[in-house]
Amino acid sequence: MKISVKEIAELTGAQIFGDETVEISNLAKIDEAKQGDITFLYLSNYEKYFPTTKASAIFVKPDFNKVRDDIVYLEIKDPNKAFLSVILKYFTPKLNLEGIDNTASIHPSAIIGNNCAVGKNVVISEGCVVGDSTKIFHNTVLMDNVKVGNDTLLYPNVTIRENCVVGSRVIIHSGTVVGSDGFGFSPNEKGEYQKIPQIGNVIIEDDVELGSNVSIDRAAIGSTVIKKGVKIDNLVQIAHNVVIGEHTVLSGQAGIAGSSKIGKHCIIAGQVGISGHIEIADKTIVAAQSGISKTITKSGMYFGYPAKEHREALRIEGHIRNLDNYAKQIKALESKIKELEDKIESK
Show the beta-strand stretches assigned E in 61-187: 72-75, 105-106, 111-112, 117-118, 123-124, 129-130, 135-136, 141-142, 147-148, 153-154, 159-160, 165-166, 171-172, 177-180, 185-187
263-273 pLDDT, tens digit per residue, is 999 999 999 99
4-58 pLDDT, tens digit per residue, is 999 999 999 999 999 999 999 999 999 999 999 999 998 888 999 999 999 999 9
Residues serving a catalytic function are 240
Kind plus residue range of the DSSP H or E element containing 217: strand 215-217
Q: How confident is the model at residue 136 (pLDDT cuts 50, 70, 90)?
A: low
pLDDT at 135 over 50: yes
234-268 pLDDT, tens digit per residue, is 999 999 999 999 999 999 999 999 999 999 999 99
Window from 77-81, 141-145, 296-300, 321-325 with minimum mean pLDDT: 141-145
H helix intervals, 53-171: 79-86
In this predicted structure, what is the pLDDT of residue 105? 58
How confident is the prediction for the chain on average, in pLDDT?
87
Is 76:59 a contact under the CB 8 Å cutoff?
A: yes
Is 23:3 a contact under the CB 8 Å cutoff?
A: yes
Residues present in the chain in total: 347
In this predicted structure, what is the pLDDT of residue 314? 81
How many other CB atoms sit within 10 Å of the CB of residue 190? 6
- Tell me the C-alpha distance between 309 and 303, whole Å: 6
Is 234:255 a contact under the CB 8 Å cutoff?
A: no
Q: Which residue has the higher pLDDT, 321 or 115?
A: 321
Q: Which residue has the higher pLDDT, 341 or 214?
A: 214
Q: How confident is the model at residue 138 (pLDDT cuts 50, 70, 90)?
A: low
- Tell me the C-alpha distance between 67 and 313, whole Å: 44
pLDDT at 112 over 90: no
pTM value is 0.80
Give the residue among 4, 25, 27, 12 at the shortest CA–CA distance from 78. 12
141-180 pLDDT, tens digit per residue, is 666 678 888 888 888 888 888 888 898 888 989 889 999 9
How many other CB atoms sit within 10 Å of the CB of residue 291? 15
pLDDT at 2 over 60: yes
- Tell me the C-alpha distance between 25 and 258, whole Å: 25
Please report, rounded to a whole number, the percentage of residues in the chain having pLDDT higher than 70. 85
- Where b means 16+ CB within 10 Å and e means fewer, 191-215 reads eeeeebbbbbbbbbbbbbbbbbbbb
SS3 of residue 203 by DSSP: strand
If you compute the radius of gyration of the chain from its CA atoms, what whole number of angstroms results? 26
The domain locations on the chain are: 3-91, 105-310
- Tell me the C-alpha distance between 56 and 59, whole Å: 11
Q: Which CATH class is domain 3-91?
A: alpha beta
Residues whose CB falls within 8 Å of the CB of residue 81, separated by 6 or more in sequence, listed in order: 186
Q: CATH code for 105-310?
A: 2.160.10.10
